[in-house]
Amino acid sequence: MENHNHEASINQDYLCNGLPQVLVLEPPPVFKFHGEQLSKIFHFLKAWESPLPLHQYLTINSQSVKAVLSAGTTPITPDIIRLIPSLGIIVTTSAGLNHIDLQECRRRQIPIATAGTLYSEDAADLAVGLLIDVFRKISTADRYVRRGLWASQRHYQFPLGSKLGGKQVGIVGLGSIGLNVAKRLEAFGCNILYNSRKKKPSVPYPYYPDVCDLATHCDVLIICCGLTDETHHMINKKVLLELGKEGVIINVGRGAVIDEKEMVECLVHEEIAGAGLDVFESEPNVPKELFSLENVVLSPHRAVHSEETLMALCDLVVGNFEAFFSNKPLLTPLVED
């Protein structure tokens, strides 16, 4: 974490105990590793530590609050926003924005500072890692060796995996994460296709406006898009069946982009070949049917978390808050198209 000097240019109206005041609804990952340093720069109101219900806590404590730090777990609904009458900014450390009522923020003209493209490389790394694991059966082979089965089943032929090169890979959501996935998989010799809200004139990959049509032409679907009303359960039974018995699905986006119940059914009945999943519909609850499937690799929503990125995130959070409190442009403002 960089050594931030708290400038005298901070608006004095924002100070509490000599530090700018920030409301935090739930503990963000940066607190675990950098909480002590951050507490030297900001005065945090930690709502999750109070025994009071959140609405009651906010009614009592948030009348003068102008800044909120969100980790993406607690929904920032219109009701929550109305209980913070002086709210001037939301800084979120989440990769997605589905936890924030963007319409209410627009109405109130409350700016949002995002993580920008900070997470893109980490998420792409894990997406490719999950894909390699599913194809080459790395986790399955690891369990096989650890259980002593390699030595005890000398005449058993461990199942062969599949090569990555030459696969048709469909990326759903060709933003910064999707583009980083594509760049990595091109190096493996994969053919990239994509679905997005609109065609990207600057990329050479074939564009499929219909995700079902994309699935028909792919060996793999990698979900990199955010969760919106339009993308909720976008990957449904029809899409999965079009992906087919040899198809693999990877999700580093949001769990509810996939109809999880239908995906589980397809995996159990071998209507698709496998899955690598970092996100789920009702986290941290994972469908138990997946635990016994050797063709499924599971990860506890860690795609965007690495030591290096959390350190950079800490600096970004500090920079965005200091910009706001000093009436300067945000480093990573949400730009809606």
Could you tell me if 93 and 30 are in contact, meaning their C-beta atoms sit under 8 angstroms apart? yes
Give domain status of residue 330, yes or no: no
Catalytic residue positions, numbered: 254, 283, 301
Give domain status of residue 336, yes or no: no
Q: Are residues 232 and 150 in the same domain?
A: yes
Give the pLDDT of residue 265: 98
Provide the domain count of the chain: 2
Give the pLDDT of residue 6: 46
Strands 19-24 and 15-16: antiparallel
For residues 47, 52, 57, 61, the Cα torsion angle rounded to the nearest 10 degrees is -80
What is the C-alpha to C-alpha distance for residues 90 and 106, in angstroms, rounded to an integer? 12
CATH number at residue 18: 3.40.50.720
Give domain status of residue 114, yes or no: yes
Q: Are residues 77 and 194 in the same domain?
A: no
Domain, as residue range, for 88:
12-118+306-325
- Where helices occur in 39-175 by DSSP H, the ranges are 54-61, 78-82, 102-108, 120-136, 138-146, 149-152
Q: Are residues 190 and 277 in the same domain?
A: yes
Q: Are residues 99 and 179 in the same domain?
A: no
Q: Are residues 70 and 139 in the same domain?
A: no
Q: Which two tokens stand for residue 147?
A: 């259980």
> What secondary structure letter does DSSP report for 257?
G
Give domain status of residue 221, yes or no: yes
Specify burial of residue 165 (Cβ count, 10 A radius: 0-12, 13-18, 19+). Answer: exposed
Q: Are residues 196 and 180 in the same domain?
A: yes
**pTM > 0.75:** yes
Could you tell me if 220 and 131 are in contact, meaning their C-beta atoms sit under 8 angstroms apart? yes
Q: Are residues 179 and 281 in the same domain?
A: yes
Average pLDDT per 10 consecutive residues for the chain, totaling 337 residues: 50 64 91 83 94 96 94 94 96 92 96 96 98 98 95 89 97 97 98 97 96 98 96 98 98 97 98 98 97 97 91 94 95 86
Q: Are residues 194 and 51 in the same domain?
A: no
Q: Are residues 25 and 141 in the same domain?
A: no
